[in-house]
């Protein structure tokens, strides 16, 4: 690829990176004389027509995003089976490189990066674009500290394709939301989850879930709870830990609902961290307590004889106290060992299938019991409620978690709408707890106007409540179309009979002088052969006979200047406008005598050298 020119303008200079889906090159745009980054799809994706179609659509949508924290997309193209996108070239390191070299990062530094990522996501989410692949590899940090989020739109295109590059998928699997891992509905909150995993890794130096394969990691996202950060980093700020753990909640409803909400909470936690002046590196230091010597009491020479007895009694008392404390501690240990019941956080299984939900609860050491099955909009067999709710902390020997399972939507037969008026049909649809669907209108020779003539679904079919029922309403019989007969050249009375024979009406009749015989049709509207409805009117123009002939002999006084000029005479009458005389003359030719003839209303215009000299009416 090095040295190749794409789109007649992008010259590939060097390879600068790559991932499971594409290889990234540094290139020069000859048209604008600037350096750009070009992401070229790997061959296994270029040959997938469905993926390419989604890739182009999503990349073009992402190109509409304009934000300081988003890598701009300049162009999308294809050439010789090579599919590529042209992006802004950004100098800097990825957040993944930074984590590998310096993790765990200082909370204040992570918060600053996270806030800029939130700004980028807020812009994308307002434009109805979900990133779907937020991970440290897609976060670039410039030398000035500016955060740039890249690969918008590409992850969405990849969701429908088989990812064969195991390493690439494994990298993304660490940051998948549970709903992505299950192949479920994905929205803005999935990006919040992935951002939470990113924060967890930056703050601890490790991802919350790891495994030998992408499938193993994905299952952990669905089933397991992450280890609290404070267990990995002692003394970690509780407020920041709470924010990160909320981001990676299993249920989307329990996460931050908007990137702006997350940014606001990060800003609050940042102030608390500045007050505490917390640094991860301080946790690695071991506190050293200097050794000390217990001072030695010197016996006084004149010590009373009762002193030794007092010290012996004090020592015996202290020994008894210590012995009691030891037995008390031992009792507590034994009691804790044999009588303490560990606690567990109840996972949220709403939205899972019945068997999967029970298995998830059993993996946590909890029992489950289906206490009710009810009709609902959710698919049959899906858990729609639970008691206690997800996130509740209970003892491991808690009574079975009560589950309510959907029986699916309630179904009933579709009523017959054919033959009803439109309003009666609508009332019947709604009274049977269905929804009014689309309405169409068609001509019908069988049903009068306003009557329902067809419906979808058909009568009697069992469908869920709330199903839309569409219907077709009659426009009445379709009016027949005929071709207008040829009436020009016929006598007016003959034309009238022709119209009657064709179920047409005589419209407006205008008389106009012409060379045709009197009462002869000389024009019609619509024209002969035009398609019209039965009963339409046809307008006629009828000859009033040849116009009267008028003759005259014009005497034209010519101008004294110039020495030569052209005289032109134009006549306008019932036959139209025409030139009847044109010749060159001198002033001494005056007066000029010219015979004129016209029909009907006659106007005469005299021109001398293209200038109107006079105008007369005969």
Nearest alpha carbon to residue 119 among 208, 191, 186: 191
Is 133 in the active site? yes
CB 155 within 8 A of CB 131: yes
Q: How far is CA 145 from CA 75, 108, 134, 262, 270, in A?
A: 26, 13, 19, 20, 17
Q: How far is CA 92 from CA 89, 97, 144, 534, in A?
A: 10, 10, 9, 78
Nearest alpha carbon to residue 20 among 210, 131, 158, 182: 158
C-alpha of 381 from chain center = 30
The residues, any chain, with a CB within 8 Å of residue 346's CB and separated by 6 or more, are 361, 364, 366, 386, 388, 389, 390, 391, 392, 393, 394, 401
CB 230 within 8 A of CB 280: no
CB 130 within 8 A of CB 188: yes
Percent of the chain that is helix, strand, coil (3-state, to 5): 30, 30, 40
CB 233 within 8 A of CB 280: yes
CB 335 within 8 A of CB 377: no
Q: What is the distance between the alpha carbons of residues 166 and 67, in angstroms, rounded to a whole number?
A: 32
C-alpha of 600 from chain center = 73
Q: Which of 133, 151, 191, 573 is catalytic?
A: 133
User: Would you give the DSSP letter of residue 526?
Assistant: S
Nearest alpha carbon to residue 468 among 457, 453, 454: 457
What six digits make up the tokens of 412?
């009933």
Return phi, psi of residue 553, to 5°: -120, 110
C-alpha of 158 from chain center = 16
Nearest alpha carbon to residue 406 among 435, 370, 436, 380: 380
In this structure, the dihedral spanned by the alpha carbons of residues 262, 263, 264 and 266, taken in order and rounded to 10 degrees, is 90
**DSSP secondary structure of 20-60:** SSEEEEEEEETTTTEEEEEEEE-HHHHT-HHHHHHHHHHHH
Cβ of 222: how many Cβ atoms within 10 Å?
Answer: 19
CA angle centred on 35, ends 10 and 15, rounded to 5°: 75
Tell me the sheet residues that pair with 411: 464
Nearest alpha carbon to residue 470 among 420, 505, 526, 429: 429
Q: Which residues are catalytic?
A: 133
């Amino acid at each position: 690829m090095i040295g190749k020119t794409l789109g007649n303008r992008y010259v590939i200079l060097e390879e600068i990176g790559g991932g499971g889906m594409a290889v990234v090159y540094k290139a020069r745009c000859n048209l604008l004389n600037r350096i750009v980054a070009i992401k070229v799809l790997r061959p296994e994706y270029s040959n997938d027509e469905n993926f390419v179609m989604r890739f182009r659509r999503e990349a073009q949508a992402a190109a509409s995003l304009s934000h300081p924290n988003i890598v701009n997309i300049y162009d999308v193209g294809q050439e010789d089976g090579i599919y590529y996108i042209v992006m802004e070239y950004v100098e800097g390191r990825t957040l993944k490189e930074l984590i590998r070299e310096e993790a765990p990062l200082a909370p204040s530094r992570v918060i600053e990066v996270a806030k800029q990522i939130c700004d980028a996501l807020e812009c994308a989410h307002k434009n109805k674009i979900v990133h779907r692949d937020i991970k440290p590899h897609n976060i670039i940090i410039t030398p000035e500290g500016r955060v740039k989020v890249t690969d918008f739109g590409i992850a969405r295109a990849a969701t429908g394709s088989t990812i064969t590059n195991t390493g690439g998928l494994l990298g993304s699997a660490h940051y998948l939301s549970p709903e992505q891992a299950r192949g479920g509905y994905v929205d803005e909150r999935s990006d919040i989850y992935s951002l939470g995993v990113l924060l967890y890794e930056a703050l601890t130096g490790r991802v919350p879930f790891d495994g030998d394969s992408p499938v193993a990691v994905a299952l952990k996202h669905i089933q397991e709870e992450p280890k609290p950060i404070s267990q990995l980093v002692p003394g970690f700020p509780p407020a920041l830990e709470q924010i990160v753990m909320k981001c990676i909640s299993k249920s989307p409803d329990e996460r931050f609902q908007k990137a702006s909400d997350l940014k606001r909470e990060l800003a609050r936690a940042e102030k608390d961290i500045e007050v505490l002046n917390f640094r991860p590196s301080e946790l690695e230091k071991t506190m050293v307590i200097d050794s000390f010597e217990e001072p030695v009491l010197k016996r006084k020479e004149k010590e009373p004889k009762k002193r030794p007895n007092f010290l012996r009694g004090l020592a015996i008392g202290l020994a008894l106290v210590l012995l009691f404390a030891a037995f008390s501690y031992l009792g507590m240990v034994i009691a804790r060992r044999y009588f303490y019941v560990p606690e567990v956080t109840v996972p949220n299984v709403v939205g899972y299938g019945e068997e999967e939900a029970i298995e998830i609860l059993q993996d946590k050491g909890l029992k489950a019991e289906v206490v009710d099955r009810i009709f609902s909009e959710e698919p049959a067999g899906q858990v729609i409620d639970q008691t206690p709710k997800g996130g509740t902390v209970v003892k491991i020997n808690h009574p079975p978690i009560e589950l309510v399972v959907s029986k699916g939507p309630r179904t009933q037969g579709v009523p017959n709408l054919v033959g009803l008026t439109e309003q009666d049909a609508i009332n019947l649809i709604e009274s049977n707890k269905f929804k009014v669907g689309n309405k169409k209108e068609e001509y019908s020779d069988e049903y009068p106007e306003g009557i329902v003539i067809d419906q979808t679904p058909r009568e009697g079919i069992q469908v869920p409540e709330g199903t839309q029922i569409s219907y077709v309403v009659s426009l009445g019989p379709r009016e027949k179309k005929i071709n207008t007969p040829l009436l020009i050249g016929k006598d007016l009375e003959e034309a009238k009979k022709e119209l009657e024979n064709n179920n047409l009406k005589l419209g407006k009749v205008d008389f106009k002088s012409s060379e045709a015989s009197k009462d002869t049709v000389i024009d019609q509207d619509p024209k002969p052969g035009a398609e019209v409805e039965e009963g339409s009117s046809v307008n006629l123009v009828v000859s009033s006979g040849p116009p009267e002939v008028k003759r005259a002999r014009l005497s034209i006084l010519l101008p004294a200047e110039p020495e030569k000029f052209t005289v032109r005479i134009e006549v306008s009458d019932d036959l139209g406008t025409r030139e009847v005389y044109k010749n060159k003359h001198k002033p001494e030719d005056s007066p000029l005598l010219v015979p004129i003839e016209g029909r009907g209303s006659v106007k005469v215009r005299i021109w001398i050298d293209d200038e109107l000299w006079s105008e007369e009416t005969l």
